[in-house]
């Protein structure tokens, strides 16, 4: 019986290590500063730079689509205006940095 538990535990550790590597490799953080929306990947490369507050959904969706399975997208402190819904169609994580992160939904959603 012990060998089954050891095998399960070994598999779980390998699985979790693989998942955390995948998430770390494809994480992107958005920031709003001086009226600009910018996003940076986990290596610090800037992957988005555009005016903020007009249609932030397009840039966020683009990052979601390119992040791959298990990607993590963080919305930093700021106000994100969405003109269309976001589609999370893979095992991705979308999170804000707290109460200072505000997402304004499309006008026809939640009406």
Residue 12 has pLDDT above 70, yes or no: no
* pTM exceeds 0.85, yes or no: no
Tell me what pLDDT residue 111 has.
53
Identify the pLDDT of residue 83. 93
- Quickly list DSSP for the chain: -HHHHHHHHHHHHHHHHHHHHHHHHTEEEEEEETTEEEEEETTS-EEEEEESSS-HHHHHHHHHHHH-TT-EEEE-SEEEE-SS-----SS-EEEESSTTEEEE--TTS--
Q: What is the pLDDT of residues 39-69, one digit of tens each?
A: 999 999 999 999 999 889 999 999 998 887 7
């Amino acid at each position: 019986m012990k060998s089954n538990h050891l095998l399960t535990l070994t598999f779980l550790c390998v699985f979790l290590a693989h998942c955390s590597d995948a998430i770390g490799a494809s994480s992107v953080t958005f920031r709003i500063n001086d009226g600009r929306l910018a996003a940076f990947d986990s290596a610090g490369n800037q992957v988005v730079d555009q005016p903020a507050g007009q249609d932030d959904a397009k840039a966020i969706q683009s990052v979601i689509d390119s992040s791959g399975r298990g990607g993590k997208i963080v919305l930093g402190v700021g106000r994100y205006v969405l003109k269309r819904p976001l589609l999370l169609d893979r095992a991705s994580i979308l999170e804000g940095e707290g109460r200072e992160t505000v997402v304004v939904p499309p006008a026809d959603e939640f009406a």
